[in-house]
Amino acid sequence: MMAKKVFFFLILFVMLATACAAPPSTTQAPVETQAPAATEAPAPREAPTEAPAATEAPTPAPEQPKPGVAGHLVLATTTSTENSGLLAYLLPMFEEEAGVKVDVIAVGSGQALKLGEDGNADVLLVHSRKAEDEFMAAKHGTRREDVMYNDFIIVGPESDPAGIKGMGSAAEAFTKIAQAQQPFVSRGDESGTHVKEKNIWAATDVKLDGEWYVPSGLSMGEVLAMTEEMQGYTLTDRATYLAQTKEGLDLDILVEGDKTLFNPYGVIAVDPAKNPNIQGELAQQFIDWLISVPTQEKIAEFGKEDFGQSLFYPDSQPWREAQ
């Protein structure tokens, strides 16, 4: 009897031991299946860290200055006066003397004249004489004065694949570029430079319908950079070209001196009737200052230190009378 009891308890002990050993295997299994999920879970959280970029991307373009802000003069001008560095040289002198801030809108001459026509500028400094005369004839401006001049030049790579170097006629040089099917980069923006370029093409029999002719819609400085990259040709004002050579531009002056390349600049006061906020008196003050002999002398000196020549030549009536 005792042996049966011992045998019974022995079997019971084995069964209990087996039952107690089972839980470890059941608790370990879930750990193995859940481990990958725990390591992969943070991955989706990386996406929200990039979300702020989406909200920052659409940065609105700054508004162009408009007339009507006290102590401010809105000057619409061509990119050549800005790209050449002339505005950075001259305007701080006027701002200090007059106690005002000059807000510059640098675009092509055609766009600058349009800004004046729409009453969105106080004064204009441009270089498109025919368009300037038409602007005045239409009563958009109250006063126009000669300011200065320089000249246009045709530039291109040193290798000069079109063979135009030294030619005396801009129209003939343009014709050779077209015949050689070499890239010609145009402003294409109705700026004073573009108007001059179109006048030169009009004196040729060339049709501007090939891939070699590249209208860009860019500023003069950007056109020069594009021309260098394409190893092509373009028409530019001398001042912007020389200023860009300081920045490493590697194009040569190939054609210059043609009388058709003369490049005069004028300053115009916009008619205050265009916009009640136009600073008419301040525009007149700026014009008087710009054409005065002391300012004209400063224009004559601009560029001499860096290039050994003036980038612009004074040509106002007070200057001419003083000579």
Token digits of residue 34: 């859940």
Q: What share of the chain is helix, strand, coil (3-state, %, to 5)?
A: 50, 20, 30
pLDDT value of position 63: 60
Last residue of some domain: 261, 286, 302? 261
Q: What is the pLDDT of residues 83-122, one digit of tens each?
A: 999 999 999 999 999 999 999 999 999 999 999 999 999 9
pLDDT value of position 290: 98
Domain range spanning residue 190?
151-261
Residue 271 DSSP label: P
pLDDT value of position 71: 87
Residue type, 223: V
**137 and 92 in one domain?**
yes
28 falls within a domain: no
Dihedral angle sign, alpha carbons of residues 189, 194, 199, 203: negative
pLDDT value of position 239: 95
**CA nearest 254: which of 140, 145, 174?**
174
293 falls within a domain: yes
Average of per-residue pLDDT across 182-193:
96
Residue 194 Cα distances to 70, 201, 283, angstroms: 35, 10, 27
**209 and 175 in one domain?**
yes
Average of per-residue pLDDT across 28-46:
36
Residue that wins the pLDDT comparison between 154 and 22: 154
**230 and 189 in one domain?**
yes
pLDDT value of position 65: 77
Our measurement of the distance from residue 20's CA atom to the centroid of its chain's CA atoms, rounded to an integer in Å, reads 81
